[in-house]
Structure 1
Amino acid sequence: MADEEPTSIWMQPERHERSGPGRRPGYSREQITRTAVQIADAEGLEAATMRRIACELGTGAMSLYRYVPRRDDLSDLMIDLVMGEIELPGSPSGDWRSDLTLLARQIRAAGLRHPWLIALLTGRPTLGPHLLRVHEFALGAFDGIGLDIDDITGFVGMLNDFIHSAIRREIGWLEEARRTGLDPERWKRDYMGPYVREVVESGAFPLFSRSVLDSRTAHLAPDDRFRHGLDRILDAIAALIPSLRSR
């Protein structure tokens, strides 16, 4: 008989086990997931194996598969637990730009707290309840301003692409700083600086040289760089909205 097709973890009822005399206490998906998140935050996603989680909980790995059957299920649960940290109003305010700025900054903060999150989010689709809440808020920010659903989903996708890319780049800088022991500014100045000066002095790459010497954004602090990029994305959306309404 063919293997049964896997079912989304969100369609699988949670096990509830009561402890009794002489029995081990039962576990929960949330307990297992929180332990996985703590391990991934401290040691990286690869360390958050069922064996390691079971060790932290003082049980055997096989007992946890009754609660979380597959590795993909654990990934979905980890994503959704972290998305639950994002604090949003119950509904959009009506100021789409303000709402999306709030959302973007919250996602960035979660991504920096949990450096493994963006790799999981962009690696496979998942639709847990907390992620759906966040996505519904993003879609709702554009609702009621005269856009069709294709335009709304396109703008939300474009915004997500920027947020995820910016977080990945920032995490890359932080990981490089940990690996080399140099903060980003020292890395630019001490490690790359001599070579960059040689390139600039060669005159072979004039636009690159201008981007190094004259660009204000190239030297922004991470928070300011993120906000600058976010503002440019939102500016582009604002510029498109009137023409899309009038189609």
Structure 2
Amino acid sequence: MTEPIWLRPERGARGPRPTHRRTDIAATAVRLADAEGLDGVSLRRVAAELGTGPATLYRYITNKDELFDLMVDAVLGEAQPPEPSGDWRADVSAVAVAQRELALRHPWLAGLPATRPSLGPNGLAWQEATYATLTGLGLSADETLLRVQTVLTFVRGQVIEELAEREAARRSGQDLRGWLDTQSAYGESIIGSGRYPQLSRIMLEAATPHADDRFDRLFQYGLERVLTGIGG
């Protein structure tokens, strides 16, 4: 069984001197993923961008999953975990906001399994800081884990929705406001039918779907509800 990449030295004791660093490989792969998604990332493509052959990369990594590990840890290193304030709600909220910003900046992150977190140095720093936000609540290890996972799952779900809307707007050439405008005549027929009173009330009165900051509103409202729940 191959040791995790984080246990292996970047440069082996034998063989030719490496011409690249793991950070170079990760940065190249991140750039490709930001532009084309995870489907645009392969060992062959990364090697070509670095001006070398795929076989050379196997001196640094053994498979694509290790490449993804390097990529995740690289982007987690773009910012340090928020400094603790002593207020657990504020601290958890700061982590959630930072993780949302990171995932929106690198949309491919949402395509990787959250059950296999980065165990690189940056990933470990973020995990430690995140679990530390709840140390003052006197929770067991499992209670801490479940509360943190609940928050991060909420963040991930919100990010996936926001990214899906971005993709729909790109694909159709219409943002959400434009799409709603095209549905107006149909919406009037729905309201006029009298068959959907609760939906009609939302369609007539709700301002959030039309707000430019609708995703920020949804995120903040949902996060506050989640924090209230995990604090109980």
Deviations 1:65-114 (A, max 9, x none): 11111001011111111111233245x22111111111111111111110
Shift in Å, 1:6: 3.4
One of 74, 95, 98 as aligned partner of 2:67: 74
C-alpha distance in structure 1 between counterparts of 2:74 and 2:106, whole Å: 11
Whether the 8 Å contact between 1:87 and 1:106 is mirrored in structure 2 is: no
TM-score if structure 1 supplies the norm length? 0.83
Whether the 8 Å contact between 2:82 and 2:91 is mirrored in structure 1 is: no
Aligned to 1:234: 227
Whether the 8 Å contact between 1:111 and 1:167 is mirrored in structure 2 is: yes
C-alpha distance in structure 1 between counterparts of 2:144 and 2:44, whole Å: 43
One of 155, 164, 168 as aligned partner of 2:156: 164
TM-score if structure 2 supplies the norm length? 0.88
Is residue 2:132 matched to residue 1:136? no
Aligned to 2:98: 106
Whether the 8 Å contact between 1:10 and 1:128 is mirrored in structure 2 is: yes
Shift in Å, 1:59: 0.9
Aligned to 2:199: 208
Aligned to 1:197: 188
C-alpha distance in structure 2 between counterparts of 1:148 and 1:141, whole Å: 14
AA of the residue aligned to 1:185 = R
C-alpha distance in structure 2 between counterparts of 1:35 and 1:12, whole Å: 21
Matches within 5 A, 1:1-247: 5-15=1-11, 26-89=19-82, 92-122=84-114, 124-190=116-182, 192-220=183-211, 221=213, 222-238=215-231, 240=232
CA 1:16–1:188: 2 relative to 1, 3 Å: farther
CA 1:74–1:180: 2 relative to 1, 3 Å: same
C-alpha distance in structure 2 between counterparts of 1:56 and 1:42, whole Å: 14
AA of the residue aligned to 1:122 = A
Whether the 8 Å contact between 2:117 and 2:123 is mirrored in structure 1 is: no
SS at match of 2:112: helix
Whether the 8 Å contact between 1:211 and 1:218 is mirrored in structure 2 is: no
Q: Return 5+ residue gaps in structure 2 as ranges.
A: none
Shift in Å, 1:218: 4.1
Identity %: 41
CA 1:203–1:37: 2 relative to 1, 3 Å: same
C-alpha distance in structure 1 between counterparts of 2:194 and 2:204, whole Å: 13
AA of the residue aligned to 1:102 = A
Q: How many residues align?
A: 228
Shift in Å, 1:213: 2.9
More off after superposition, 112-121 vs 29-38: 112-121
C-alpha distance in structure 1 between counterparts of 2:210 and 2:113, whole Å: 29
SS at match of 1:122: coil
